Structure 1
Amino acid sequence: MATPLFNPDLIDRAVNDHLPVGFLLRPLEITDYDKGFLTALSHLTVVGEIDKAAFVDRFAYLKAHAHEYFTIVIEDLKTQRIAAAGTVLVERKFIRNLGLVGHIEDIVVHENYRGLQFGRYIIDALKSIGKNVGCYKIILDCSEKNVPFYVKCGFERKEVEMVWYIPKAKL
Structure 2
Amino acid sequence: MEPRHNISTAAQQHSQSGDRLFSNSLISSESSASLPEGYSFRALQRSDFSRGHVTVLKDLAYVGDVTEEKWIERFDAMKKREDTYFVLVIVKKTESGEVIIGTGTLVVELKFLGNLGVQGHIEDIAIAKDYHGMKFGMKLIKALDHIAAQLECYKSILDCSDRTKGFYEKCGYERAGLEMHRYHDLNSEAAKHHV
TM-score by length of 2: 0.83
Q: CA deviation at 1:167?
A: 4.1
Instruction: Return the letter of the residue paired with 1:7.
Output: S
Selected match of 1:80 from 98, 113, 123: 98
Instruction: Return the letter of the residue paired with 1:6.
Output: F
Query: Can you list the C-alpha shifts for 1:27-86, whole angstroms capped at 9, x where unaligned?
Result: 100111000100000001111111111111111111111311000110111162110100
3-state SS of paired residue (1:77): strand
Instruction: Return the letter of the residue paired with 2:144.
Output: L
What does residue 63 of structure 1 align with? 79
Selected match of 1:24 from 29, 40, 44: 40
How many pairs were matched up?
Answer: 170
Q: CA deviation at 1:124?
A: 0.5
Q: Take 1:4 and 1:18, find their aligned partners in 2: how far apart are those partners?
A: 22
Selected match of 1:15 from 25, 31, 34: 31
Q: Take 1:167 and 1:53, find their aligned partners in 2: how far apart are those partners?
A: 24
What does residue 15 of structure 2 align with? none
Instruction: Return the letter of the residue paired with 2:140.
Output: I
Q: Take 2:51 and 2:131, find their aligned partners in 1: how far apart are those partners?
A: 15
Selected match of 2:182 from 141, 145, 164: 164
Q: Take 2:66 and 2:177, find their aligned partners in 1: how far apart are those partners?
A: 35
**Any unmatched runs of 5+ in structure 1?**
none
What is the aligned-residue RMSD (CA, Å)?
A: 1.7
Q: CA deviation at 1:166?
A: 2.5
3-state SS of paired residue (1:141): coil
Q: Take 1:35 and 1:95, find their aligned partners in 2: how far apart are those partners?
A: 39
3-state SS of paired residue (1:135): coil
3-state SS of paired residue (1:88): strand
Q: Take 1:66 and 1:13, find their aligned partners in 2: how far apart are those partners?
A: 23
Residues 1:142 and 2:160 aligned together = yes
3-state SS of paired residue (1:71): strand
Q: Take 1:128 and 1:66, find their aligned partners in 2: how far apart are those partners?
A: 18
What does residue 114 of structure 1 align with? 132
3-state SS of paired residue (2:41): strand
Q: CA deviation at 1:9?
A: 1.0
3-state SS of paired residue (2:19): coil
Q: CA deviation at 1:163?
A: 1.5
3-state SS of paired residue (1:47): coil
Q: Take 1:167 and 1:55, find their aligned partners in 2: how far apart are those partners?
A: 22
Q: CA deviation at 1:165?
A: 2.1
Identity %, equivalent residues: 38
Q: Take 2:183 and 2:128, find their aligned partners in 1: how far apart are those partners?
A: 27
3-state SS of paired residue (2:40): strand
Runs of 4+ in 1 over 4 A off after TM superposition: none
